[in-house]
């Protein structure tokens, strides 16, 4: 029995998966909401993740009564957890959606050179990445920076509490801006230029590698058995891709949660010279992946509901949206509620409805949001075509794959046959599969995914809808430049 643990933004989820790849039990524990004392700030207390992890693990063990063979971890990426020499947390973690570090990004590009930084790390400096957050602390809280001895990401802090080991996988490390992604090792040049001692950085492992064991103190806190092996795991996008079987070049997933991600496996590191896509190490040893990110995907629908229809179910809203025609009678939504990553790399981008008329109903607004999020994710497919990244088909995941309307919209907007899985259990499921490979339950991730992942449905988009959305996408692409002219 393999335990997968996902340290998300809103909560921690624990799942148990057996040797047949079947989900046996799951449990969740909520986190306190992240704090945002100033616009663009987002902070969480790492101790709260550890509390939630203990609760979720104890609950899932109580439900199943199973003995765990191995543990895998995943979670929200990019967060900066700063510890002193004794392993104590020095300040709340600046998490993935914290965007206060524009000045630090500019400093890195001036100091290292934007093209050189992409050459070294396969990515430009963005406010989401861990390194920029460390530089902000150095500038604004030098007394804390001076006490740093260890830097971890969220799931790796929970691993530290479970095992006493400072470790990180190369997929997660790709999102710190401190990794030489092509060679799967820390970048000495970037660390030196940024003034980050390499001694702060944890030992690196491939995702299925055993890197630690459950400690006696953690066993007492969680109910796990001391000495249980713990694999390196992966960030939520890497583990989520494993959980959907996105392992081979040509395999692609489009996942809509709070944010939206289009993820493609590649055989070699494929850099976008303009840095519009993230290029990371894959959780699969010896492979890489590229991904585009829409900051406010599912968040756009939640924002609309909370603003114009509080208390209304999503099912009711999407039923209204289904009464509006393909293309929402010309109404467009750009989902830039949190700025935008792909393709604009603009933390100051602003969301908008464009083309409103007196004939538009609430159903039109909802449908326009569903379509606008899909258009935003299509921007990543456009970049894939530009860079020669193959797409053989798409697997849909996250909340955006749970309702038939949004599935159909996505398939038609992307223009590819799209698979729906029998059970899409998210990153925690992928982390459990990584644990199973680490414990030799399966010889490799390909075998694990063959055992665990089944396709329930394939959507073949209607040609008429594909054509209508192709026209709508042309209009969508004109909105951002116009908005930029207004908002600067």
Report the C-alpha dihedral over residues 419, 422, 424, 429, rounded to 10 degrees.
-130
Catalytic (active site) residue 236: yes
Let me know: does 240 contact 430? Beta carbons within 8 Å.
Answer: yes
E strand intervals along 282-343: 288-294, 332-334
Let me know: does 121 contact 114? Beta carbons within 8 Å.
Answer: no
Q: Could you tell me if residue 442 is inside a domain?
A: no
Q: Are residues 227 and 265 in the same domain?
A: no
Q: Are residues 178 and 213 in the same domain?
A: yes
Q: Could you tell me if residue 445 is inside a domain?
A: no
Q: Could you tell me if residue 439 is inside a domain?
A: no
Task: Tell me the C-alpha distance between 318 and 321, whole Å.
Answer: 5
CB environment 244-280: b (16+ within 10 A), e (fewer): bbbbebebbbbbbbbbbbbbbbbeebbbbeebbbbbb
Q: Could you tell me if residue 127 is inside a domain?
A: yes
Q: Are residues 250 and 203 in the same domain?
A: no
Half-sphere exposure at residue 434, Cβ-oriented, CA atoms within 13 angstroms:
41
Gyration radius (Cα) of the chain, Å: 22
Q: Based on the structure, what is the number of domains in the chain?
A: 2
Last residue of a domain, one of 233, 266, 288: 233
> 428: which 2 tokens?
């925690």
> 265: which 2 tokens?
């496996």
Q: Are residues 269 and 207 in the same domain?
A: no
Give the pairing of strands 150-152 and 332-334. Answer: unpaired
SS3 for 248?
coil
Catalytic pick among 18, 236, 272, 379: 236
Q: Are residues 79 and 17 in the same domain?
A: yes
Taking the alpha carbons at both ends of the chain, their separation in whole angstroms is 54
Q: Are residues 277 and 182 in the same domain?
A: no
Q: Could you tell me if residue 238 is inside a domain?
A: no
Last residue of a domain, one of 206, 233, 260: 233
Task: Tell me the C-alpha distance between 347 and 104, whole Å.
Answer: 13
Per-residue pLDDT of the chain (488 residues; tens, 9 = 90+): 999 999 999 899 999 999 999 999 999 999 999 999 998 899 999 999 999 999 999 999 999 888 999 999 999 999 999 999 999 999 999 999 898 999 999 999 999 999 999 999 999 999 989 999 999 999 999 999 999 999 999 999 999 999 999 999 999 999 999 999 999 999 999 999 999 999 999 999 999 999 999 999 999 999 999 999 999 999 999 999 999 999 999 999 999 988 899 999 999 999 999 999 999 999 999 999 999 999 999 999 999 999 999 999 999 999 999 999 999 999 999 999 988 989 998 888 999 999 999 999 999 999 999 999 999 999 999 999 999 999 999 999 988 888 999 999 999 999 999 999 987 788 999 999 999 999 999 999 999 999 999 999 999 999 999 999 999 999 999 999 998 888 75
Q: Smallest Cα–Cα separation from 11: which of 29, 33, 35?
A: 29
Predicted local distance difference test score (pLDDT) of residue 120: 96
Task: Tell me the C-alpha distance between 33 and 227, whole Å.
Answer: 33
Q: Are residues 168 and 314 in the same domain?
A: no
SS3 for 428?
helix
SS3 for 420?
strand
> 309: which 2 tokens?
């229809």
Q: Smallest Cα–Cα separation from 427: which of 235, 276, 263?
A: 235
Domain residue limits at 266? 245-421+454-488
Q: Are residues 62 and 182 in the same domain?
A: yes
Task: Tell me the C-alpha distance between 32 and 347, whole Å.
Answer: 25
Q: What sign does the dihedral 134-136-138-143 (CA atoms) show?
A: negative
Task: Tell me the C-alpha distance between 12 and 59, whole Å.
Answer: 12
Task: Tell me the C-alpha distance between 229 and 215, whole Å.
Answer: 10
Predicted local distance difference test score (pLDDT) of residue 349: 92
Q: Are residues 216 and 292 in the same domain?
A: no
Instruction: Tell me the DSSP string of 437-475.
Output: HHTTSSSSHHHHHHHH--EEEEE---HHHHHHHHHHHHH
Q: Could you tell me if residue 51 is inside a domain?
A: yes
CA separation, residue 91 to residues 9, 38, 45, 136, 373 (Å):
17, 16, 8, 13, 35
E strand intervals along 9-62: 11-17, 23-30, 43-44
The three state secondary structure string of 204-242 is EECCCCEEEECCHHHHHHHCCCCCCEEECCCCHHHHHHH
Predicted local distance difference test score (pLDDT) of residue 488: 59
Predicted local distance difference test score (pLDDT) of residue 475: 97
Other C-beta atoms lying within 10 Å of the C-beta of residue 408: 18
Q: Could you tell me if residue 447 is inside a domain?
A: no
Angle at 276 between CA 275 and CA 282, to 5 degrees: 80
Last residue of a domain, one of 167, 198, 233: 233
Q: Could you tell me if residue 476 is inside a domain?
A: yes
Q: Are residues 165 and 270 in the same domain?
A: no
* CATH code, domain carrying 148: 3.30.420.40
> Which residue(s) pair with 203 in the sheet?
167
Q: Are residues 78 and 157 in the same domain?
A: yes
Q: Are residues 223 and 337 in the same domain?
A: no
User: Tokens 């896509």 appear where?
Assistant: 277
């Amino acid at each position: 029995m393999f335990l997968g643990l996902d340290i998300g933004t809103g909560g921690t989820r624990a799942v148990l998966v057996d040797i047949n790849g079947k989900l046996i039990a799951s449990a969740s524990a909520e986190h306190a909401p992240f704090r945002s004392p100033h616009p663009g700030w987002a902070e969480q207390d790492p101790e709260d993740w550890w509390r939630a992890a203990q609760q979720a693990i104890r609950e899932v063990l109580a439900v199943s009564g199973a003995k765990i063979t191995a543990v895998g971890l995943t979670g929200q990426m990019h967060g900066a957890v700063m510890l002193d020499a004794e392993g104590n947390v020095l300040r709340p973690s600046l998490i993935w959606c914290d965007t206060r570090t524009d000045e630090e990004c500019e400093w890195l590009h001036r100091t290292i050179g934007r093209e050189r930084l992409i050459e070294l790390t396969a990515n430009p400096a963005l406010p989401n990445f861990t390194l920029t957050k460390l530089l902000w602390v150095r500038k604004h809280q030098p007394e804390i920076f001076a006490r740093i001895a260890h830097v971890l990401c969220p799931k790796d802090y929970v691993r530290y509490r479970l095992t006493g080991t400072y470790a990180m996988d190369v997929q997660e490390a790709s999102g710190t801006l401190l990794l030489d992604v092509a060679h799967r090792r820390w970048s000495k040049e970037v660390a030196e230029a940024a003034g980050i001692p390499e001694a702060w950085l944890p030992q690196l492992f491939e995702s299925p590698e055993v890197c630690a064991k459950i400690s006696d103190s953690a066993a007492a806190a969680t109910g796990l058995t001391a000495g249980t092996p713990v694999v390196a795991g992966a960030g939520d996008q890497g583990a989520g891709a494993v959980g959907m079987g996105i392992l081979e070049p040509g395999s692609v997933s489009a996942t809509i949660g709070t944010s939206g991600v289009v993820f493609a496996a590649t055989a070699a590191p494929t850099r976008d010279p303009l840095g519009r896509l993230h290029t990371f190490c894959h959780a699969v040893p010896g492979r890489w992946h590229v991904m585009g990110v829409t900051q406010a995907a599912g968040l756009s629908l939640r924002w609309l509901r909370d603003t114009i229809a509080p208390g209304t179910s999503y099912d009711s809203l999407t039923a209204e949206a289904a009464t509006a025609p393909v293309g929402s009678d010309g109404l467009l939504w750009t989902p830039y509620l949190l700025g935008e990553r792909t393709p604009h790399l603009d933390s100051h981008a602003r969301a908008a409805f464009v083309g409103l008329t007196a004939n538009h109903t609430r159903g039109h607004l909802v449908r326009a949001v569903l379509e606008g999020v899909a258009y935003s994710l299509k921007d990543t497919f456009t970049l894939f075509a530009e860079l020669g990244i193959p797409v053989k088909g798409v697997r849909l995941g996250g909340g955006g794959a749970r309702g038939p309307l949004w599935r159909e919209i996505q398939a038609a907007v992307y223009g590819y046959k799209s698979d729906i899985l029998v059970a899409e259990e998210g990153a925690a499921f992928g982390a459990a599969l990584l644990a199973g490979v680490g414990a030799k339950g399966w010889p490799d991730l390909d075998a694990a995914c063959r055992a665990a992942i089944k396709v329930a449905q394939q959507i073949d988009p209607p040609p008429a809808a594909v054509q209508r959305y192709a026209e709508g996408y042309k209009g969508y692409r004109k909105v951002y430049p116009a908005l930029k002219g207004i908002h600067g």
